[in-house]
């Protein structure tokens, strides 16, 4: 981002001065506020020699602890060793990304040949926003850059910031790309490679030594090292040795998993192949690492795995993009049209070949028709694949309350540990303890109160849930998001292929005849020979692979209904003598010897010469065809009926077009419109532009297809609604078709009304307007009195709910001109139709701004952006995992959604239970140690070992194994660890546990046979003794009973008895503790240093106290769970929810006159009724 004064960066080294006369090597005359620069806050610093040496000395004196601190807090390291300076003089940068995370990055320099940058940047024009080049007055020309998250940022002085290297080619036009078909010279390629770097997505796989160093410097392991040293100094050798061994095993497993994941990701990301590129002196066979933006790549007919993003200039390619999108159906890519429009990979997706995708086959283009060619537009991490890999390597920090509260609670435990330390200092100093023992014992309190196994315990629940999901065919690449699934409050669904079947059945064809439509023809075989049947047969992107047609299921079904056969030219140039030696992409032939309806005429074969592919943003596709002999060129157009009609001559569109379309769409049919135009014979068919082909068309008719709702959809939607989870449909289909499907799957119930939202942008003669109306989507005119009657009667809320439906055009106008109404419409919107992929992403983000936890389920094709933007994205794909979304389901229906939510809730509740258990375990041991310190004794080495490793660790592992309940409860589990029920539960249990331990100690002391311990010794040297034995026995029972008390079952988990392993473990541990208490002294008792108390009545009393402790804690936990503390909230009064969507819900419930039906609202005069 632009750097303000004082926030600069870039330098030349510790001892190398920067010449004051040096000039930046790259300057950019674009206005500063319009330049696309780094999205990060960048501050520049220079090394200061004496500070650096002073820090080295400090690190030596602190045995490296100072360097550890600098690693944890990068800003401190920079401040300690550097001084702030302007960016052009900096050696090191302090970056702060959009999430507030800080990074220290070195500025790199690279010498380049003088004048070589002239090749690296496009030709400049002073009237255009182009990057220009100036040479330094120094003898050397130095490029300054840094690499962050795989992307290279270069210094551009005119912008006053580091910019992504991709900025140098971001404003290429389609014409510019076509002008690069001859390729780059060797000098140009070398210069560009110095700027952009090697074309490789290199996932770093660190050595085990590096990983070990980084892992050991983790705060958790630093704390472990500190604890082990402390225990060793206090002669807890067994315990320290066991923790050391367990830590080593944990580190080894962690290093293995990290390296395994890195290796797998590197194997998936790294793609190096040999490609043929054009140079000024001919073609060369080079490694893909040498590719740079501007290189012209020759694509072989048999295809290849593409190592870069490229614009297809000539020919056609069939591409499998499943690795990026999760969509298993191959996509046809066609050549980029020549135009002055700025090239964008997103808007020209159908002409763009993406890195990592598999080009299954390529057909030649150009004058010779022999080869397909493409120009490289992006390389390395700048590609679409690189962006996705980067999102995995450097994920967005999870904004989840549970994780934030966990850190806050640990800080609270730290404060508690400080209090315990002070108490122990006072108590131990009163017993004449030596200073070294005093310090060791006091610090030991810190290792007790902060559970070292807490991070591992919290991941247990997610690991169990991940394994259960995997067994059900749902794969997860981001386990922390499993807990977030438990808080989902709204789920968006794509329609086609998600809620409805992917395949369609042809219902019939309606041809336009004059001013109206003919009868619905159920079988396209019965259509007259021309031209509707030719449009159905030829207007598609289906291709042959191994003799089998592949492509969109809709188009396959359309061709199948005609009975025509797809053929492709046998010769590599695609020339076909039958069609006038035109270069042919495909030939459609009618059924042999099949007569049409008249019985006298057979349709003629059609050759497809050009394809202008379908895209979600354009909502249409077109083809150019010729008949036998190469004459009679005809263009066909297919797409959304409204879009097709807008490209047709007005007189050719039937007068009843809209009512007819509404009739079929409202019944849930998928409707496509067709049009045609005869082209002049002299038209240059190989170069004619799309805009010329698609204008002034003649409307042909409608293809009506039945899209069946998947049998599982209605049940899943019903389950979600019963659980108070709001379902929303986001589709690219017609709004009436979408509403019908919403009714069919239960999103909109039969008694609920649908209100259509129509927003229009301003025009030359009208203001932007917004209107709400009922009916079939048509704006109706109603007089003012009728509108007032509607408001007074509240027709749309008279005992029935209502849903809003809006299309993409209105959604865009709403966001641009009526943002104050957007929150209220989002609150009631259920159907979003004709939405482009970008609008789907925009919708998800808008819902998140209302504090919804948003899930998104789609087939991965046009939903990638929304799937990644959502809190939980689920891609329905046959692949085990794709980078399109955090979750991938092998099932082809939405039945995975309730499963995912149930597992998320189970994992979240289990994480809560484990957190509470680990906290209570620490508090139990904390109380035990302080009580025993007061009595001048302590737990023994093996006693600690028995509690921590045998009891607590095993219980924590097995208690999280319970699975989710079968149903979805209407109430979602809490995500706050600092809520009143959780804190009250911990407080009450802690008090009861301490009282129980104190009671047992007092009971022991009051016995006639009680023998006081030796007051001349302190700590574990006093073992065995009666005080320690009594506290040990009760605390052992407490560890076990608390695992039962805080293990939650209904309504989010199955009852405890379903967790057989946990149940068996409980019985075994209860048996062990009862045996230790009641049975005669054995070698185990002596190893644990337990005192042999012969009084059986006393022993039974200990067991009874433990049982009473269990009963009271269990009863109180149930009361707290059932809302016993709600009375405290009543005293505080009602608090407004922090979630915006809940506040809006309350507001809308109190506003029965909203939305105002059939009353046009204008911007900006009209203000919002609700809260924006």
Note whether 92 and 11 are within 8 A (CB).
yes
CA distance 720 to 722: 5
Cβ neighbours, 10 Å, residue 480: 16
Structure tokens at 159: 């912008």
Confidence band for 773, pLDDT divided at 50, 70 and 90: confident
Phi/psi region, residue 775 (left: phi>0; alpha: psi -120 to 50; beta: rest), is left
The string of pLDDT tens digits covering residues 15-54 is 333 333 333 333 333 333 333 445 578 888 999 999 999 9
DSSP 8-state secondary structure symbol assigned to residue 551:
S
Residue 308 has pLDDT above 80, yes or no: yes
Considering 494, 552, 576, 733, which one is annotated as catalytic?
A: 494
> How many Å apart are CA 519 and CA 863, to the nearest integer?
37
Category of 350 on φ-ψ map: left (φ > 0), alpha (ψ -120 to 50) or beta: alpha
Look over the chain and give the mean of its residue pLDDT values, rounded to a whole number: 81
Joined together, the tokens standing for residue 745 give 């799957």
Q: Which candidate, 324, 288, 323, 322, places its Cα nearest to that of 308?
A: 288
Q: What is the pLDDT of residues 816-839, one digit of tens each?
A: 889 999 999 999 999 999 888 778
| Residue 922: φ, ψ to 5° | -65, -40
Decide: residue 611, CB within 10 A, 0-12 exposed, 13-18 middle, 19+ buried.
buried
Confidence class for position 124, pLDDT limits 50, 70, 90: very low
Q: Of 301-310, 781-790, 933-942, 1001-1010, where does mean pLDDT reach its minimum?
A: 781-790
pLDDT value at position 16?
A: 38
- The sign of the torsion formed by the CA atoms of 986, 992, 995, 1001 equals negative
State yes or no: pLDDT of 1171 exceeds 80: no
880 CB burial (10 A radius; 0-12, 13-18, 19+): exposed
Give the span between the Cα atoms of 966 and 138, in whole angstroms: 74
What do you get for the CA distance between the two ends of the chain, in Å?
Answer: 29
What is the per-residue pLDDT for 990?
92
Q: Is the pLDDT of residue 168 over 60?
A: yes
Q: What is the mean pLDDT of residues 219-225?
A: 79
pLDDT higher than 80, residue 104: yes
Residue 281 C-alpha from the chain's centroid: 46
The reported pLDDT for the residue numbered 36 is 41
User: Cα 1040 to chain center, whole Å?
Assistant: 39
How many angstroms separate the CA atoms of 992 and 1013, rounded? 26
Res. 853: pLDDT tops 90:
yes
The whole-angstrom separation of Cα 1011 and Cα 994 is 23
Is 480:896 a contact under the CB 8 Å cutoff? no
Mean per-residue pLDDT, 1066-1086: 90
Cα–Cα distance list, 953 to 238, 327, 940 (Å): 17, 43, 18
Asked if pLDDT for residue 616 goes beyond 90, the answer is no
Q: Residue 164 pLDDT more than 80?
A: yes
953-966 pLDDT per residue, tens: 899 889 888 889 98
pLDDT, tens digit, for every residue of 332-367?
Answer: 888 888 888 889 888 788 889 999 888 888 877 655
What are 465-517's pLDDT values in tens digits? 999 999 998 988 778 889 899 999 999 998 877 888 876 788 899 998 877 88
How sure is the predictor about 782, in pLDDT bands with cuts at 50, 70 and 90? very low
Per the annotation, the verdict on 387 as an active-site residue is: no
Lowest average pLDDT, out of 14-18, 82-86, 904-908, goes to 14-18
Strands 669-678 and 161-164, sheet pairing: unpaired
Contact 1077, 1033 (CB under 8 A): yes
Rounded to whole angstroms, how far apart are CA atoms 381 and 392?
12
Question: What value does the mean pLDDT take over residues 545-556?
Answer: 82
The sign of the CA dihedral 1005, 1011, 1015, 1021 is negative
Question: Which residues lie across from 476 on neighbouring strands?
Answer: 887
- pLDDT for residue 503: 66
Is pLDDT at 854 greater than 90 in this prediction? yes
**Contact assessment for residue 122 and residue 418, using Cβ atoms and an 8 Å cutoff:** no
């Amino acid at each position: 981002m632009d750097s303000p004064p004082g926030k600069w960066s870039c330098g030349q080294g510790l001892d190398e001065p920067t010449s004051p006369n040096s000039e930046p090597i790259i300057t950019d005359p674009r206005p500063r506020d319009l330049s696309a620069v780094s999205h990060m806050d960048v501050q520049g610093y220079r090394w200061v020699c004496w500070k650096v040496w002073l820090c080295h000395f400090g690190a030596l004196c602190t045995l490296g602890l100072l360097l550890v601190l600098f690693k944890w807090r990068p800003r401190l390291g920079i401040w300690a060793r550097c001084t702030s300076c302007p960016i052009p003089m900096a050696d090191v940068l302090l970056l702060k990304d959009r999430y507030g995370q800080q990074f220290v990055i070195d500025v790199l320099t690279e010498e380049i040949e003088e004048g070589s940058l002239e090749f690296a940047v496009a030709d400049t024009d002073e009237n255009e926003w182009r990057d220009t080049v100036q040479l330094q007055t120094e003898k050397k020309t130095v490029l300054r850059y840094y690499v962050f998250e795989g992307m290279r940022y270069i210094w551009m002085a005119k912008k006053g910031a580091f910019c992504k290297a991709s900025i140098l080619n971001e404003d290429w036009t389609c014409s510019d790309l076509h002008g690069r078909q001859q390729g780059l010279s060797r000098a140009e390629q070398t210069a560009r490679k110095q700027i952009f770097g090697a074309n490789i997505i290199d996932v770093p796989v660190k050595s085990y030594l590096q990983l070990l160093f980084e892992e050991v410097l983790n705060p958790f392991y630093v704390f472990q090292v500190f604890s082990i040293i402390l225990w060793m100094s206090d002669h807890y050798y067994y315990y320290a040795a066991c923790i050391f061994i367990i830590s080593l095993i944990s580190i080894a497993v962690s290093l293995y998993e990290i390296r395994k994941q890195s290796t797998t990701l590197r194997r998936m990301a790294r793609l190096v192949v040999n490609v043929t590129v054009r140079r000024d002196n001919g073609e060369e066979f080079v490694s893909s690492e040498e590719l740079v933006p501007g290189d012209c790549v020759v694509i072989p007919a048999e295809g290849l795995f593409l190592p870069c993003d490229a614009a297809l200039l000539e020919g056609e390619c069939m591409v499998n993009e499943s690795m990026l999108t999760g969509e298993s159906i191959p996509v046809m890519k066609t050549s980029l049209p020549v135009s002055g429009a700025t090239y964008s990979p997103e808007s020209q997706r159908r002409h763009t070949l993406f890195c990592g995708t598999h080009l299954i086959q390529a057909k030649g283009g150009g004058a010779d028709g022999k080869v397909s060619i493409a120009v490289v537009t992006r390389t390395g991490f700048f590609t679409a694949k690189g962006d996705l890999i980067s999102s995995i390597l450097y994920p967005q920090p999870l904004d989840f309350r549970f994780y934030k509260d966990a850190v806050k609670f640990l800080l609270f435990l730290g404060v508690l540990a400080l209090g315990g330390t002070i108490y122990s200092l006072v108590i131990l100093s009163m017993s004449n303890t030596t200073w070294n023992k005093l310090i060791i014992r006091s610090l030991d309190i810190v290792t007790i109160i902060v559970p070292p196994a807490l991070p591992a315990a919290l991941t247990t629940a997610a690991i169990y849930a991940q394994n259960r999901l995997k067994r059900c065919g749902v794969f997860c690449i981001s386990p922390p998001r499993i807990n977030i699934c438990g808080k989902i409050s709204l789920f968006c669904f794509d329609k086609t292929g998600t809620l409805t079947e992917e395949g369609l059945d042809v219902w019939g064809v309606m041809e336009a005849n004059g001013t109206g439509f003919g009868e619905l023809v159920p079988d396209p075989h019965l259509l007259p020979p021309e031209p509707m049947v030719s449009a159905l047969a030829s207007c598609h992107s289906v291709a042959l692979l191994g003799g089998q047609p592949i492509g969109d299921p809709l188009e396959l079904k359309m061709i199948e209904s005609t009975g025509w056969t797809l053929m492709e030219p046998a010769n590599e140039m695609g020339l076909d003598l039958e069609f006038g030696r035109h270069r042919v992409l495909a030939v459609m032939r009618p059924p042999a010897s099949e007569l049409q309806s008249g019985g006298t005429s057979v349709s003629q074969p059609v050759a497809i010469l050009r394809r202008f592919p379908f895209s979600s943003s354009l909502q249409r596709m077109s083809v150019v065809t010729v008949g036998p002999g190469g004459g009679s060129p005809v263009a066909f157009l297919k797409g959304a009926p409204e879009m097709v009609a807008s490209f047709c001559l007005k007189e050719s569109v039937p007068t009843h077009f809209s009512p007819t379309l509404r009739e079929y769409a409202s019944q849930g049919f998928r409707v496509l419109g067709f049009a045609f135009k005869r082209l002049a014979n002299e038209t240059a068919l190989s170069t004619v532009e799309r805009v010329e082909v698609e204008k002034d068309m003649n409307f042909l008719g409608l293809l009506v297809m039945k899209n069946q709702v998947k049998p599982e959809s209605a049940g899943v939607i019903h389950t979600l609604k019963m659980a108070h989870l709001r379902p929303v449909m986001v589709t690219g289909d017609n709004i009436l078709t979408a509403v019908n499907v919403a009714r069919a799957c239960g999103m909109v119930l039969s008694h609920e009304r649908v209100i259509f939202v129509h927003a229009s942008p301003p025009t030359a003669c009208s203001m932007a307007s917004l209107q709400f109306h009922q009916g079939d989507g048509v704006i109706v005119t109603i007089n003012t009195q009728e509108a007032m009657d509607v408001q007074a009667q509240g027709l749309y809320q008279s005992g029935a709910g209502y849903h809003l439906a809006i299309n993409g055009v209105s959604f865009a106008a709403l966001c641009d001109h009526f943002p104050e109404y957007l929150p209220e419409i989002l609150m009631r919107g259920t159907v979003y139709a004709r939405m482009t992929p970008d609008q789907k992403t925009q919708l998800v983000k808008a819902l998140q701004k209302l504090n919804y936890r948003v899930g998104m389920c789609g087939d991965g094709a046009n939903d990638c952006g929304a799937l990644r933007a959502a809190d939980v994205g689920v891609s329905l794909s046959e692949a085990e995992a794709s980078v399109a979304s955090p979750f991938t389901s092998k099932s082809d229906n939405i039945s995975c959604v309730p499963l995912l939510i149930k597992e998320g809730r189970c994992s979240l509740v289990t994480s809560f239970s484990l957190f509470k258990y680990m906290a209570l375990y620490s508090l139990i041991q904390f109380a035990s140690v302080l009580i025993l310190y007061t009595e001048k004794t302590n737990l023994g080495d093996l006693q600690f070992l028995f509690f921590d490793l045998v009891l607590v660790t095993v219980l924590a592992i097995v208690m999280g194994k319970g699975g989710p309940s079968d149903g979805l409860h209407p109430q979602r589990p809490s995500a706050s660890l600092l809520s009143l029920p959780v804190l009250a539960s911990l407080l009450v249990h802690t008090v009861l546990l301490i009282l129980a331990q104190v009671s047992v100690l007092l009971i022991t002391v009051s016995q006639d046979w009680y023998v006081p311990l030796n007051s001349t010794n302190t700590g574990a040297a006093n073992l065995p003794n009666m005080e320690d034995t009594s506290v040990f026995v009760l605390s052992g029972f407490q560890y076990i009973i608390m695992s039962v008390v805080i293990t939650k079952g209904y309504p989010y988990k199955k009852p405890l008895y379903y967790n057989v392993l946990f149940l068996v473990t409980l019985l075994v541990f209860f048996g062990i503790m009862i045996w230790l208490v009641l049975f005669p002294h054995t070698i185990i008792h002596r190893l644990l240093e337990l005192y042999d108390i012969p009084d059986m009545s006393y022993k039974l009393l200990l067991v009874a106290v433990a049982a009473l402790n269990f009963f009271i804690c269990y009863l109180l936990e149930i009361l707290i769970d059932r809302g016993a503390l709600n009375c405290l909230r009543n005293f505080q009064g009602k608090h407004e929810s922090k979630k915006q969507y809940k506040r809006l819900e309350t507001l809308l419930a109190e506003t029965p006159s909203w939305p105002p039906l059939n009353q046009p609202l204008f911007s900006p005069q009209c203000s919002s009724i609700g809260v924006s």
